[in-house]
A and B are shown apart, each in its own frame.
Chain A
Amino acid sequence: MGSVTVNRPAHRWRFDTEGWRRRMREYRLLLRLLMKSPPAAVGLIIVLVYVGIVVYDQFFVAQNDVMIPNFNDTLPRAPFWWPGGTAAGGWFGKTNNGIDLGDAMLKAIRIDLMYSSFVVLFGALVGCLIGVFAGYRGGLFDEVLMRATDVTYSIPFLVFVIAAAFAFGKRDFLTINAILLALWWPTYARLVRAQALSVKELKFVEAARAAGASDTRIMVKHVLPNTLAPVFVQISLDLGVVTQIFAALNFIGFNAGNLFIPELGNLIVVGDTASFTTYPWTVIMPGLVLLIFTVAVNLFGDGLRDVLDPRARR
């Protein structure tokens, strides 16, 4: 019998141009399908506008982490289109301490979106890795993971965050984010685990195993990519939820002790303290910005679900 020769590519880790081109084609198709549904298209456009604001803030706005008060003129002023509003209010009005709402909300969008997307994306990353491991390997790790996620699900999220922040004795953004992160990954772990359980029985996984691929390789290159569709949907829906939770935490007093942090929940507090029934726009405007973002994210997420995961169509 002659010896068997194996044709191995000379550079195993060469950049896979063809694969990426194929993937980009898929994404373009996805985008076209998404834009066919008007609500999803509207959602995507609004989300992109918000992301544009974040980028603009990050690079072109000076002092983008503090609201600028004007102590010479601390009374709230209505926007000019408001009944009884004057030109002094500008487009968005002014809130307590003479803070210009337009400027403050612009900066608040950056902070809110940056922190919430950090939590969601990092949570998704950690959750996916743990979930695929648990689903693929099974056994004791899987069992412990499921019980652990049961526990985190059995405490209302907001209450859990409050208690954890209290125990750490800190309320700065870093601590709050770490806590949110620690509580956010179980959603993704469960999602990916459930998917991985069915994907690992499919033929191509068997083929990869027969070809001698290691468990790690199968998990990362074969199972994980095929579990990601619902994860993307969940990420898009969660962005709105985490942004709201973040704003809510600031609203109930977790604003790191700094009333001049531009954050939507904090802005509502600033307006709230300035007699919100007399100056309703100080509360209405920041909330509206938050609401529009959440609605847009939900529209986009629903559209994405219809495209990526037609069976789960609601």
Chain B
Amino acid sequence: MRLILYVVRRLLILIPTLLGVTIITFVLSHAPGPNLAVAVYCTPRLGACNINNPLLKPIVDQFHLRDPLPVQYVYYLAGLLQGDWGFTTSAVRGGIPVTQAITIFFPQTIELAITATALATLIGIPTGTISALRKDKLSDHGTRIFALVGYSIPFFWLGLLFQILAISLFPEWEITGGYSLTAVDPATQSWAFIYLNDSPVPVLFSQPTHFFILDAAIHGSWSVFFDALKHLILPTITLTIGVLGVILRMVRSGMVDSMNQDYVKTAWSKGLPDWVVTRIHIRRNALLPAVTVIGLLFAGLLGGVVLVEDVFAWKGIGYWATQAVLQFDPGGVMGTTLIFAVFLVLINLIADVMYAYLDPRISL
């Protein structure tokens, strides 16, 4: 019951934060002048995205773009809540609504972020545990150096390095870059259909879940499935190494801290077996803060995703964001900023609630 109250209170705190985020995106898109604001809602089919364009009068009227900024904000917010996030022209030929573009690009980013986080957690927790148990031994030093380099390394440079390595060592694998069209089954192509602006060949987005790998498995196109998996390798490793550094460091320090606690000494002196003490007494307590770090981690990860997607031509939100900037597409920029923020806020919420659930000592 107290947990439910806590969740409700956390949700209430979320409202001012999200309002603040919308204020920021509003100021960024509307304060530089009405033309930028018009361009958010304008598609090239309507002609010049200019406030004086008579074809755009319905938009100007609907969002009150000639009124003072506070009035505009109210209508902007109403538009957001009604799913009217504007148009993006940078991602898909001819322009589509931002909300639709999000459903296309977001799954790709999630796919990358989740795979990287899962992999880093799976590797990081055992390795960090071993490192702490063998404190100041050679393997511990090795792990610490790896962690240090991991969180110091620039994502985009690491991605380029992996590409150099992959192309020069395994040229026949063709694992760099985004999904390739040649691997798609001709028979089942109907589940993937959208064209991107910059590519001469169609780049596929899939039905029904928009997660390419998942869809390939659903449709039973196994050649596509394995091809997609192959292209997931390098970006995932790149992101994983960065995230792994943080996880290793945190697990190790948590373990070292809790190894010096009195209850651990008691457990040892009771004569409990090694694995019981390390797994149940030390590690369980050491891993509690890990949950909150996941939230912080995601913030860093989403920043890194932008770069990694740029390097590997991965068609996710980060790719869309950079394209939107380079092709002057205000709708795209504001849409990506907003969706990144909403996602991050929700992840943080989940992390906080999980922490409260796992640690009964915390005062709700």
Which residues of A come within 8 Å of B, CB atoms?
Answer: 147-148, 150-151, 153-160, 162-169, 240, 244, 247-248, 251-253, 265, 268, 272, 276-277, 280, 283-284, 287, 290-291, 294-295, 298-299, 313-314
- Which residue from B21, B23, B152, B161 sits with its C-beta under 8 Å from A283? B161
Residues of A within 8 A of B94 (CB): none
Q: How long is the Cα–Cα vector from A247 to B156 in the complex, in angstroms?
A: 10
Instruction: Write out, one digit per residue, whether chain B residues 9-44 have a CB within 8 A of any chain A CB (1) or not (0).
Output: 000000011001101110111011000100000000
- The residue of chain B having its C-beta at the shortest distance from the C-beta of A150 within the complex is B17
Residues of A within 8 A of B307 (CB): 158, 248, 251-252
Are A244 and B164 in contact (CB-based, < 8 A)? no
Q: How many A-B residue pairs have CB under 8 A?
A: 139
Chain B interface category by residue count = 35 or more
Are B164 and A280 in contact (CB-based, < 8 A)? yes
Q: How long is the Cα–Cα vector from A244 to B158 in the complex, in angstroms?
A: 12
Are B164 and A268 in contact (CB-based, < 8 A)? no
Q: List 8 A-B contacts (CB under 8 A).
A: A147-B17, A155-B341, A165-B325, A252-B156, A252-B310, A276-B160, A276-B164, A283-B157
- Which residue from A150, A162, A294 sits with its C-beta under 8 Å from B152? A294
* Interface majority SS (helix, strand, loop, mixed), chain B: helix
Residues of B within 8 A of A163 (CB): 25, 28, 333-334, 336-337
Are A159 and B164 in contact (CB-based, < 8 A)? no
Are A268 and B151 in contact (CB-based, < 8 A)? no
**Stretch of B63-71, B216-224, B298-306 on the interface side:** B298-306
Are B154 and A155 in contact (CB-based, < 8 A)? no
Q: How long is the Cα–Cα vector from A14 to B152 in the complex, in angstroms?
A: 45
Residues of A within 8 A of B345 (CB): 154
Any chain A CB within 8 A of the CB of B322? yes
Residues of A within 8 A of B337 (CB): 155, 159-160, 162-163
Q: How long is the Cα–Cα vector from A154 to B15 in the complex, in angstroms?
A: 12
- Which residue from A165, A168, A277, A291 sits with its C-beta under 8 Å from B157? A291
CB-CB under 8 A for A277 and B164, given A154-B345, A287-B157, A291-B154: yes
- The residue of chain A having its C-beta at the shortest distance from the C-beta of B344 within the complex is A154
- The residue of chain A having its C-beta at the shortest distance from the C-beta of B157 within the complex is A287
Any chain A CB within 8 A of the CB of B155? yes
Any chain A CB within 8 A of the CB of B330? yes
Are B299 and A150 in contact (CB-based, < 8 A)? no
